[in-house]
A and B are shown apart, each in its own frame.
Chain A
Amino acid sequence: MVLKGKTHIFGDNIDTDVIIPARYLTTVDPNELAKNCMVDIDADFAGRVQKGDIMVAGLNFGCGSSREHAPIAIKGSGVSCVIARSFARIFYRNAINIGLPILECDEILDEMNAGDELEVDLAKGEITNLTTGKKYSSEPFPEFMQEIIAAGGEIAYLRKKFAKQEA
C-alpha cells in the first residue's frame, strides 16, 4: 500500500495523555475520540488535520498508558500513518492491532518541515519526502506482524485463523 499526505510534526515522548486526554475516555467511538486528538498540546489539530495526513515525531511516541483510544483517535482523525524515531511498546502493539500503519525512521525528522508532503510505501518500508525529494528507508515489520497488518488488524487475523480451524 502506498500512502501520500501532508505532515504534522511532533517532538519526543508524545504520551497517550496528550494524544487523547483521560477526560475524553468515556467513549470508544473513533469519531468522538478524534475530536480531541492532541488537544492538550495542539489545540486546533483536530480542525486542521486532513484525511491521509501523516504524523512525524521523535523518540518514544505513545509512551504512558495502555489506552488503545490513542491510536484509534489518531486513525479516526484521518491520519494515514505515523512515522517516529521510536515508539513506546504498548502503543506499537496497539497500532498494529487496530491497523494504524506506523514506521520507525530516525533521520527524516531532521530534514523536513511541517506541511511537507510524504509518500510512504508500507510494503517496502520506503518513505519519500516529495517536497525535498529525499528518500528514507525503514525496517519492514517481521513476517508475523505483516500478516496481522495484511488481515486488517488482530481481530480480523484471529477470525481468519478460527474460520480456518473450523473448516
Chain B
Amino acid sequence: MGMTMTQKILAHSAGKDCVKAGELITAKLDLVLGNDITSPLAIQEFEKIGLGKVFDKDKIALVPDHFCPNKDIKSAEQANVVRQFARKYDITNYFEVGQMGIEHALIPEKGLVTAGDVVIGADSHTCTYGALGAFSTGIGSTDMAAGMATGELWFKVPDAIKVVLKGKKKNMVSGKDVILHLIGKIGVEGARYMSLEFTGEGALDLSIDERFTIANMAIEAGAKNGIFPVDDVTLEYINAHSKKPYKVFEADEDASYAKVVEIDLSTLDYTVACPHLPSNTKEIANLGDIKVDQVVIGSCTNGRIEDLRVAAKILKGKKVHKNVRCIVFPATQKIYLDAISEGLIQTLVEAGVAVSTPTCGPCLGGHMGILAKGEKCVATTNRNFIGRMGHIESEVYLASPAVAAASAVTGKISAPEEVL
C-alpha cells in the first residue's frame, strides 16, 4: 500500500521506510513556533522540565503578533515573558515589533520553512505551510514546550482526504472562495484528524499566495494539515526566500485516501461563510442584502501582497461607504513596504481605509477593530464563531479580499463586479 504525501514526510522524519494511518510515531522537528498568547504558557511548562536549554536555538521561532503592539498592560507583560525567554536562550528567530509580521505570513517569507519540513506551532493556523509542501500542524503550549526541549514530538499518522481541483477559476474568484466552498461541502469536522491533500491541474494553477490561504484554513475543516504538491511555483517561492535545503515528497500513485473530493473551479462563484461557522457558506448570489458596519482585510489567511493588490484595484478612485469602517492589515513589514512601493497604500488611504501595522488583533477580537453589539463585519479572516471579533451579538461574514473590498464601497456584501 502506498503512502500519502503527508505520510511520506512523517515516515522520513521518524526515520522509517513506511508508516500507516493510525500508527503512533515520533518525528524530528524542523521548526517549533509560538506567539505572544501561547508562548508564555509554553515557557512556563518548558522551565518545569528543567533541562536549562532548548534543543536548537535556530529551530525555534517566536512571533509576538496577537496582542502586539501591546494592547494593554497584561498583554505587555505576556509579550515581555516571550522577549525575556528569547534573550535568555539566545533564540535566533525572535521577531520584535517592527520586524514582526503575522506569523504564518512571516515564517515562509523569512525562509524558515521549506518543502519536506516538519513544523509544529502553538497556533492552529500553522497548517499554512503545507502550501510549500511541508507537514505543518497546530499544537498547544505544552507540546510547544516539549518540542522546544526535545526537538521531537509524537504524532498519530493521519489518513487523508484527496481534494482534486479541476478547471480554471473565473472573474475574481480566488483561493479563499475555493477553501470556503470546500469547508461548506465537507463541514467543520469533515477532515477531523486527517490531512487535506490538494492535487489536480487546478491546484497547480493557483498562485502561491492562494495556496497559503487554502492550506491556512484546512484547520477550519478540522484537518491536521493541508498540503500541496511541490511544483515550479513552489520552488520559485522557496528559492527566493530560503537557503535551507528542501526535500520534495510526492504521494504514491496507490496511496489510500479516506475520501476523494472533486471541485471544478470553473463552476465556483464568490463564496461567503455566514455566522457562526466557517462551513455555513453561501454563494454571493444567494446571500440577500446584508449591510455591514466594518470590513477587515488582512490576517494570516488573506493579508499577503496579492490580497492587498486586489483590495487596491477595487478601491482605486472610490470611497469607503460612509457607514463603513474599512481596516487593512498588511501581514508583514515586507508586505507593507511592497504595498507602499507599489502605491497600494496610497490608494487605500485615499479611499478612506485605515491601514494598520501587522497584527492578528481584530481577527480574534483582540484589539484594533472590535465589533459592538449588533454590528456586522465582512472579513478576509478565518473564523466567524460567536463573539470571535467582539460582542457576542456581533456577526462576522468570511469572504475573499475582492468581496470585502467591494463591500467596503457599497456598504453591503457585494461581488467585485458591482463596483468595478
Contact = CB atoms under 8 A, between A and B. Distances in A.
A155 B392 CA distance: 35
Given A142-B24, A158-B149, A158-B150, A26 B74 contact: yes
B162 interface: no
A60 B392 contact: no
A98 B41 CA distance: 11
Nearest to B51: A162
B38 A67 contact: yes
Interface string A76-109: 0000000000101110011001100000000000
A22 interface: yes
Contacts of A118: none
Contacts of B387: 17-18, 21, 40
B123 A155 contact: no
B44 A28 contact: yes
A132 B155 CA distance: 38
B379 to A, nearest CB: 14
Nearest to B24: A144
A164 interface: no
Contacts of A27: 74
Nearest to A71: B140
A63 B392 contact: no
Given A26-B72, A66-B140, A144-B24, A155 B51 contact: no
Nearest to B72: A26
B189 A86 contact: yes
Contact of B365 (A22, A72, A86): A22
A26 B78 contact: yes
Interface residues of A, number: 39
Contacts of B139: 66, 90, 93-94
Contacts of B38: 66-68
Interface in A1-47: 13, 15, 17-18, 21-23, 25-28, 40-41
Nearest to A60: B189
Contacts of B67: 25-26
A18 B141 CA distance: 19
29 contacts: A13-B277, A15-B383, A17-B386, A25-B67, A26-B72, A28-B41, A41-B392, A59-B189, A60-B188, A63-B222, A64-B385, A65-B364, A65-B383, A66-B38, A66-B123, A67-B37, A67-B38, A68-B122, A69-B37, A86-B192, A89-B222, A94-B140, A97-B142, A144-B154, A154-B145, A158-B146, A159-B48, A159-B50, A162-B51
Given A26-B75, A90-B140, 8 more contacts: A15-B385, A22-B388, A40-B386, A66-B140, A90-B139, A142-B24, A155-B48, A159-B49
Interface of B: 24, 37-38, 40-41, 44-45, 48-51, 66-67, 72, 74-75, 77-78, 121-124, 126, 138-143, 145-146, 149-150, 154, 188-189, 192-193, 222, 224, 277, 364-366, 383, 385-388, 392
Interface of A: 13, 15, 17-18, 21-23, 25-28, 40-41, 59-60, 63-69, 72, 86, 88-90, 93-94, 97-98, 142, 144, 153-155, 158-159, 162
